[in-house]
Amino acid sequence: MWQILEASHNIDGINKLEDELKQKNKEVERLKADVEAMERISKEQNHALESLGGKNKENSDKMYKLNQKVREAKAEAKSLKDQHREDTRYLQGLHE
């Protein structure tokens, strides 16, 4: 009689363990799917960052060129201002 009870108790324990194993396997599969999704998202974000990096370099080059043009324009404006001042002094000297 004890053997029958012990065997039935073991069967219940085995069934319980099998159910736990099934649940754990489902959880593992879900986690694997999550990992795959995270890897896909990571790849997409890296691609987007690389794309932005190229645009940032392009924008940096444009900004550098524009700043260079501004410096040149300021230098030309200063030169014209100096020339105007000299011309004004010359004309004032002729007028006096």
Which pTM does this prediction carry? 0.48
Q: Say what the pLDDT of residue 1 is.
A: 47
Q: State the Cα–Cα distance between residues 83 and 70, nearest whole angstrom.
A: 20
Tens digits of pLDDT across the chain (96 residues): 455 555 666 777 778 888 999 999 999 999 999 999 999 999 999 888 877 777 777 778 888 899 999 999 999 999 999 999 998 888 887 776
The alpha carbon dihedral of 50, 53, 59, 60 has a sign of: negative
Q: Say what the pLDDT of residue 44 is.
A: 92
Closest CA to 33 of 23, 25, 44: 25
Domain boundaries, the chain: 1-96
